[in-house]
Structure 1
Amino acid sequence: MLETLDSRPEGLSDAEARRRLEEYGENEIVRGGGRSPSTILVAQFDSVLIWVLLVAAVLSVWAGQAVDAVLITIIVVANGIFGFVQDYRAERSLESLRELAAPTATVRRDGEEVQIGATELVPGDVIVFRGGDVVPADGRLLEATELEVDEAALTGESVPVGKSTEAVETDAPLADRTNLVYKGTNVTRGKGEAVVTGTGMETEVGGIARELAATKETQTPLQSDLDQLGRTLGLGILVLSALVAPLLILRGTEPVQAALTAVSLAVAAIPEGLPAVVTLTLALGVRTMSAENALVRRLPAVEALGAVDVVCTDKTGTLTEGRMTVSRLWVNDAVREFDDAPAPADLEERERLLLRIGALCNDATLEEGDPTERALLEAADRADLEQDRLAADYPRTDEVPFSSERKWMGTVHRTDEGTVGYVKGAPEVVLEHSDRVLTHDGPAALTDERRDRIEAAVRRFGDDALRVLATAYREDPEGADDLGDGLTFVGLVGMIDPPRTEVADAIAATKRAGIAVNMVTGDNVRTARAIADSLGIGTEVLEGREIEGMDDETLRERVAEVDVYARTSPEHKVRILRALQDRGHDVAMTGDGVNDAPALKNADVGVAMGIRGTDVARQASDVVLLDDNYATIERAIERGRAIFDNVWKFVAYLLSANVAEVAIVFVASLYGYLILPAVQLLWINLLTDGLPALALGADPEGEDVMDRPPRDPEGGIIGRQMVTLIGGMGAVTTVVLLVLMFATLEGAPETTPYAMTMVFTGFVFLEFVGLYVIRWLRETPTLSNRWLVAAVAASIALQLAVLYTPLNRYFGTVPLEPTDWGILAVVLAVALPGYLGVASVARRLER
């Protein structure tokens, strides 16, 4: 590698380093492909519905309804500003990658070790690093002494990786490249030297930054639905305006009044309250989810969670606790499950010896050090074998440090009876140096049959996703050099990064809701399959190296049957996501490492861990779990579905009323009647888009919200069920009110104030009846929303005000008598069965 990079063991010269710095540039993550603040701001108004609303504002001014125009404009501007703030924060994800860079680096120049700024490193430099350092650039190891590196942020591995200078296969997965080190990872122990192979954007972290920069923002299902709704309404409004005004003029209405009515009807058909209601509904969901430990960074992501049908989740720290713990002990065929911390008195002496070896042949403390060694100390502490007391009773006199080549560690201790040597390490290595085994009756010869039983136990531990260490001892060694042979094998320690206790139930609930769960991890196949099986995810595994050999079409076919993706790299995760999305899935991706950032940003919903997550992952995500608890995802999905239901209910409520408005005015105009003048249409619109609609945003979830399959994102918000509901309820309202109109006109050649008042008031009350029918369709408890009850009461009070106060002269209404209210009660009683019948048909369509 030195020859390839035209370097040498003593490093580059200063002159050559300066030349290469000019050629390759500084060793930093370059921001590129991001959006400027002005671009983000303009994008907030790139919506068909927003443009329709702005046109409505202009029409309202022309129609003399300045208040309505001001209200629409305020809504549009407020939503734009709020969206800008959210999106601008998301653009900081690339900036976070800069923080991974080490500020300084130790480099060998002309044979001398010097400290330089990490940004000045170039390919060919020879860097030196020790425990506690951050690797400043990607490199190929030249020397490695007991070197271990924590690469969890890149690979998802839950334990530090032992490094060596031995060559590995060129196509080895990232997690298996033990002779390479990567920029931004942490050296946990030992010392190493490496020749720099990549700097800046040519590092693994740089590749992730490039991936993030190239990722395009995608619309959530709700955003797409609202755009489609805007296009549909825009076309409908043009047709409406072109038909209504000429009809009214032909039937004798003055041209100005006819034009004013057509414009008012067009404005009434536009749901100008929809952005406000959606924003409020999402904001209420954000507040609720924050209280439930889910921090939402983009408002639309709340609803988008409710549409996902696949969750791709990392393992370490997400499904598991992100720490190693002793789970099982084995001593000559006797197995002790250690999960529940047996009482010290229950432990056999051989088990106590095994734990004592693990605690004394150890360089960590309970607070810091290698995770595996800390797990051994914690297990001994649980067995009342405290580290300080053991160290005092068995003082260390000599040691053989652990190395990745040797794969074992040994220590020599002084006792009252003499000296004793303790060894722990890889089972196959410890077995190789042992000639006896500790049995219940004392040490015995390590026969081939006993060796086979030990090896079988190691395999069983591995099948259960346990990391296995073996322990042994030697009596009266003269020093550490005597620990290489003549050992007495004691037993095995099985350790695991344990699954979170609540995760299995959360996954089961997610699956009941029709959502598939896939594990995507850097762990090996055996560990990944065992963890996934124990959590109920599944056992069909696809390995990273297999993905590399597949074209996109083959991968697209395979993802339909895979539960677990093992030994994956960042590129694999993005390909998996794209394959799932190409099959029509809405995918939520959880993760916590730098390696997860591209997938988080590409996913329909990116969910990052807040405690263990890197800042890069958090900034690239849509939702951050403050407690790193997978169960929070299940609750967030439930909340997302409820939010979509509330938006759905509002759209159904609003458009069913708008259809009726249009139909009534249109049919009445054919007979020469202007039954609902502009001011009354706009008043109905205000009551509809006002308090009751806003209160719907606080509706609790329906009782069946997690018993339904995910909604089809391709179906849109206005699917068959919505069309049936809008058309059916609109038709019932139209027929009932037209009958009321003709009955109250009593043959008059022109519209009378009394008839207008009856139809006007009947329309308002029918809307509120329809509202509760729509809530019933979504199985929302009738009186569960006190805000809605208050909003309906307030709207009724406002309607009464335009009947019984001097305001009635502005609305062309007259006070109603008790008998009139009796007639309206009959109208409601007739309409209610019709509404319920339509809702029943719509419910069957959903199923």
Structure 2
Amino acid sequence: MPVPTGESAGGRPLPDWHALSAEEVRREVGTDPAGLSTGEAEERLQRYGKNVLREEARETRLQVFLRQFKSILIVILIIAAAVSFLVGEALDAAAILIIVVLNAILGYSQEWQAGEAIEALKKMLVQHAVVVRDGERREIDAAGIVPGDVVLLEMGERVPADIYIADATSLEVDEAPLTGESSPVDKAPGPLPAGTALAERSNMAFAGTTVTNGRGRGVAVATGMQTEFGRIAGLSQRVADETTPLARQMDRLGRDLGLIALGIAVLVVAVGLLQQRGLLEMFLVGVSLAVAVIPEGLPAVVTLTLAIGIKTMMRRNCLIRHLPASETLGAVSVICTDKTGTLTRNEMTVVRVRTPDTEVAVTGAGYLPMGEFLLEEKPIDPLADPGLRQFLRTVLLCNHATLALEEGGWRILGTPTEGALVVAAEKAGLSRDDVPEAVKEFSFNSTRKRMTIIYPEEGGDVAHVKGAPEVLLARSSRLLRGGSAVPLTDEDRDAILREIEEYASQGLRVLGAACRPLPAGIEWTADTVETDLVFLGFAGIVDPPRPEAAEAIRLCRSAGIDVIMITGDNPLTAYAVARDLGLSSEGAMTGADLEALGDDELEGRLKTTKVLSRVTAEHKLRVIDILSRDREVIAMTGDGVNDAPALKKASIGIAMGIKGTDAAKESSDMVLVDDNFASIVAGVEEGRREYDNIARFTRYLLSSNVGELVAIVGALLLGLPLILIPVQILWINLVTDGLTALALGLEPAERDVMQRRPRDPQESILTRSAYLVILVLGAWLGLLTIYVFMGHYAVDLDRARTMAFTGLIIFELYNVLNFRSFRYPLHRIGFFSNPALLLAILGSLALQALVVYVPIFNVFLGTAPLTLADWGLLALLGLPVLLAGEAYKIFRLRVRGRSPASG
């Protein structure tokens, strides 16, 4: 019994299938041209398993929900709730736990919805396949294919397994999902040298690719996870998920706050005991301090801000699968992007036509049959030029592709290259509808490199030929000049070959055309027909860049983001596309070049060479690893299965939603619903805005908590009663601070957000300058609160606490305006540019008024009614907090000579 998925029948390692003949392959896998018997196929299915990819099990709803509690900050909050409950503060404990659970529900809801959206985007890779079993043609579920099955391939079908091609007729396969090759690959039987690159194995058809032309017959040599598709999918599953920069920073912040809370609480309790205060009283003070240090509302505000940002990104066609990924996009410093279908349209387009008389440019892109023919930048009627008219007519007649208008736009049925020629002819006014019935065809294959179709016309039969221009030129004796066939001289031949090379050097795929009126009575064979041809010219065909991609790359450059093109395509083509898009690169490196370089050498080359071609999945992972050495935050875009491992390894993987394979989507953090590279730029801007806002409200909340801490500790050191009780601190942290912090999360992006370099992912969300601002403002708020309390506590403790409680809230509401921008004063960013924040401030004041005047709140929160004069006094005391912040920003701008544009 052969073992085709691991080793040969004799226990030897499997050979390179492409290096064998068809007979050797059949012998190796134990089959023959009549295919397997039903019994043998069933036995092999039991032995090798179904022809399906092994998928990582999707997380259950419970697993997704429990993952929301992994944050250290959440764990600290749960511990604080437990301590509060043990000391009898059940209300405090309940309030904290409610916030924790609501935060988890919100995070779970967002991530599960994203997962459901991905499931909706997934499509079955292969459903059915045609095989030969018991000598008969049968259609079976593709999952039942086994090594040794004889498989039949037809145009438009997905290849169901890795297949050695035994017979082929004009067989072409689109391998872009596997290799990144933009053009369909010609397939033909016959052994190839051992070690032939994957993209050049013309005698193999690989699972997950699509037959775009012709038909073929072959032997399945690998199924399921043993296919090239499966091998890369398995490589992806072995790559560990990367922790996002924001998750790392929030965990670090949680650890720091936990240690600070514990240290301060222990220190203050010790000081109180030395002052001979009661143990229970000091324990309650310690709990109050712990509650004051930890910003209970921070996890919920972060989650809500990210969720709102995700909704914004979705409107920009960016589907985020995990909450922190949206912010990670804003930290990206390098984008490693595929070319085909990402930077380009994945729609071949004729851009130039060269005939012996003239050269014209063709406008328009993709399969939309609208465009002009330009001679020296002036529109012409292509049908008025005899040579151009005959060239276009021949490429239309010698063609099997058809152009169809379907829902969503124009679409080509057939190979992209043939489709490009049909579209060019349609732009000139010719139509496939006018094509007569052919009488004979000599099909294209990779050996002949040409195709001929014979049509009956007035005056006799005419052979129309298209193919590699140098091949047609070698079989031509004349060329069409001035509407007449004239002898083809050696000088003409040399000049045409030089122009063909020039086209190829510019990354164009070159296709030639020729024709020949057939003499009556000759035998119609390929050799007799395809000789003495009249050479008509050639076309330059390109997969055009997306029109918005060049601007997206320019914006990336202004934002300090490096763009590296990583593709399986031809290096000349890749470099030409990069040049057209304005992507500066010192040439292009191939996969072979990468293998020849050490890690240090490659790291140096990547600083100047931004085009990598003919690369494999392993090469992409190596590039990601090397870029990570410089602490880069790396985004990887892609649509093919070959992209999946790098998508998972990168800081943020970005898959294509339309052309992307299931493997790519499952390995990604974000899916571009419209496959548009420019959407990434919008995502980067949104991600940067999110991070800026998270930094804003984190610093604001901590400055508020420092104010509470200073008020409590200061009062203790001054021998005063407890200035704020735990439930009042919770009210501030969860309700009033929470509303304004969330509104800060809606702050619009600053005008220069895309002119700044990416932030250092290792830098803490709290820089040294941020700590200084937090401490200074927090101390100011705390001392003001003590001042207010000292003026009233001797007369009425509840009223004094209410004044301190309300005063601290008013002071913090002034303070929140300071954190709208770290650099620009209010008149520069616009006082009304964030209406949500103004509403949050008014809402916080209204809620505090309820707490002060509604009797039930007086009982629960220990408050007492205040007079209008009390409110006025507190408003006047807090105003300098805002004025000082504004004065500092204006002073700093003037000293540094900055303007908003310069940032």
Q: Under a length normalisation based on structure 1, what TM-score does the superposition of the two structures give? A: 0.92
Match runs of 1:243-262 below 5 Å: 243-251=267-275, 253-262=277-286
Q: 1:331 to 1:638 in 2, by over 3 A?
A: same
The amino acid of 2:372's aligned partner reads: A
Deviation at 1:215, TM superposition (A): 2.5
Report how far residue 331 of structure 1 moved: 1.3
* CA–CA separation in structure 2 for the residues paired with 1:761 and 1:97: 54
Q: Partners in 2 of 1:228 and 1:639 — Cα distance?
A: 24
Given the alignment, which residue of 528, 531, 538 partners 2:584?
Answer: 538
Q: Distance in 2 between matches of 1:801 and 1:132?
A: 69
Query: Which residue does the alignment assign to 1:501?
Result: 547
For 1:731, the equivalent position in structure 2 comes to 779
Residue number in structure 1 paired with 2:30: 7
Answer whether contact 1:733 1:831 (CA < 8 A) is retained. Answer: no
- 1:365 is aligned, of 402, 418, 423, to 402
Whether 1:609 aligns to 2:633 is: no
Equivalent position to 1:653, from 690, 696, 700 = 700
TM-score w.r.t. length of structure 2 = 0.86
1:345-397 CA deviation, whole Å, 9 max, x = no partner?
Answer: 255221111111111111121131121112111111111112222x24xx533
Whether the aligned pair in 1 keeps the contact of 2:296 and 2:734 (CA below 8 Å) is: no
Q: For residues 743-777 of structure 1, what are the alpha-carbon distances to aligned partners after superposition, in whole Å with 9 as ceiling and x for unaligned?
A: x37xx989966654554333222212221111131
Answer whether contact 1:436 1:443 (CA < 8 A) is retained: yes
| SS of equivalent residue, structure 2 residue 454 | strand
Determine the structure 1 residue equivalent to 2:5: none
State the match for 1:693 in structure 2: 741
Name the amino acid aligned to 2:876.
A
The alignment's C-alpha RMSD in Å is 3.2
Per-residue deviation, residues 272-291 of structure 1 (Å, max 9, x unmatched): 21121112111211222222
Other-structure match for 2:9: none
Displacement of 1:86: 5.7
Corresponding residue for 2:690? 643
Q: Which moved more, 1:544-553 or 1:812-821?
A: 812-821
Could you say which residue in structure 1 is the equivalent of 2:217?
A: 193
Contact 1:772 1:782 (C-alpha < 8 Å) held by counterparts? no
Aligned position for 1:275: 299
> What is aligned with 2:131?
106
Q: Following superposition of structure 1 onto structure 2, how do residues 87-126 of structure 1 map, counting pairs within 5 Å?
A: 99-107=124-132, 113-126=137-150
Deviation at 1:502, TM superposition (A): 1.1
32-41 or 670-679, which deviates more: 32-41
Q: Select 1:789's aligned residue among 838, 841, 844.
A: 838
2:757 is aligned with 1:709: yes
Q: Give yes or no for the alignment of 1:341 onto 2:377.
A: no
Secondary structure, counterpart of 1:717 in structure 2 = coil
Selected match of 1:821 from 858, 864, 872:
872
1:439 maps to which of 464, 473, 481: 481
The equivalent residue for 1:459 is 501
**73-82 or 225-234, which moves further after superposition?**
73-82
Alpha-carbon distance between aligned partners in 1 of 2:353 and 2:670, rounded to the nearest angstrom? 40
Whether the aligned pair in 2 keeps the contact of 1:430 and 1:471 (CA below 8 Å) is yes
Give yes or no for the alignment of 1:677 onto 2:700.
no
* 1:604-652 C-alpha deviation (Å, 9 max, x unpaired): 2222222222333233322222222221110111111111111111100
Which of residues 562, 565, 568 is equivalent to 1:516?
Answer: 562
Counterpart for residue 146 of structure 1: 170
Corresponding residue number in structure 2 for 1:587: 634
Query: Following the alignment from structure 1 to structure 2, what is the Cα–Cα distance between the partners of residues 544 and 380?
Result: 37
Q: What is the rounded CA distance, in whole Å, between the counterparts of 2:302 and 2:485 in structure 1? A: 74
1:791 is matched by which residue type in structure 2? A
Per-residue deviation, 1:399 = 2.5
Q: Residues 754 and 443 of structure 1: is their aligned pair in 2 closer, same or farther, counting only changes over 3 Å?
A: same
The 1:630–1:169 alpha-carbon spacing in structure 2 relative to 1, beyond 3 Å, is: same
User: Aligned residue for 1:833?
Assistant: 884
The aligned counterpart of 1:628 is 675
| Inter-CA distance 333–755: structure 2 relative to 1 (3 Å threshold) | farther
Q: Which amino acid aligns with 2:162?
A: D
- CA distance in 2: counterparts of 1:235 and 1:40, whole angstroms: 28
Secondary structure, counterpart of 1:143 in structure 2:
strand
1:554-594 Cα shifts (integer Å, max 9, x gaps): 54444333311111223322222232223311111112222
**Among residues 791, 799, 806, which one is paired with 2:848 in the alignment?**
799
Change (3 A) 1:564 1:822: same
**Does the alignment pair 1:353 with 2:390?**
yes
Structure 1 counterpart SS, 2:391:
helix
Residue identity matched to 1:798: L
Q: Does 1:568 align with 2:615?
A: yes
What is aligned with 2:104? 80
Higher mean C-alpha deviation, range 711-720 or range 37-46:
37-46
Whole-angstrom CA distance in 2 between matches of 1:73 and 1:831: 34
What is the CA–CA distance in structure 2 between the aligned matches of 1:672 and 1:435, rounded to whole Å? 110
> Does residue 1:202 correspond to 2:226, yes or no?
yes
Q: Is the 8 A contact 1:315 1:520 kept in 2?
A: yes
AA matched with 2:626: A
2:714 is matched with 667
Match of 2:424 in 1: 379
In structure 2, the residue matched to 1:402 is 444
Give yes or no for contact 2:653–2:670 (8 Å, CA) kept in 1. yes
SS at match of 1:777: coil
In the TM superposition, what is the alpha-carbon distance from 1:517 to its structure 2 partner? 0.9
- 2:11 is aligned to none
Range that drifts further, 597-606 or 440-449: 440-449
Secondary structure of the 2:221 match is: strand
Deviations 1:279-332 (A, max 9, x none): 211121122222222222222211111111111111111111111111111112
Is 1:147–1:404's contact at 8 Å kept on the other side of the alignment? Answer: no
Partners of 1:700 and 1:681 in 2: CA distance: 30
Q: Which runs of 5+ in 1 are unaligned?
A: none
Letter paired with 1:180: M
Q: Provide closer, same or farther for how the CA distance between residues 772 and 550 of structure 1 changes in structure 2, counting only shifts above 3 A.
A: same
Identity %: 41
Q: Secondary structure at the match of 2:403?
A: coil
Structure 2 residue 250 is matched with structure 1 residue 222 = no
Tell me how far apart the structure 1 counterparts of residues 256 and 446 of structure 2 sit (CA, whole Å). 66
Letter in 1 for 2:223: T
Alpha-carbon shift at residue 217 of structure 1 (Å): 2.2
In 1, Cα distance between equivalents of 2:891 and 2:34 = 79
Partners in 2 of 1:702 and 1:431 — Cα distance?
60
After superposition, give the CA deviation of every residue in 1:411-470 in whole Å (9 maximum; x if it has no partner): 222332333222110011111101222224743332222222211211222222211101
Give SS of 2:660's match.
coil
Q: Is the 8 A contact 2:815 2:882 kept in 1?
A: no
CA drift at 1:149: 1.2
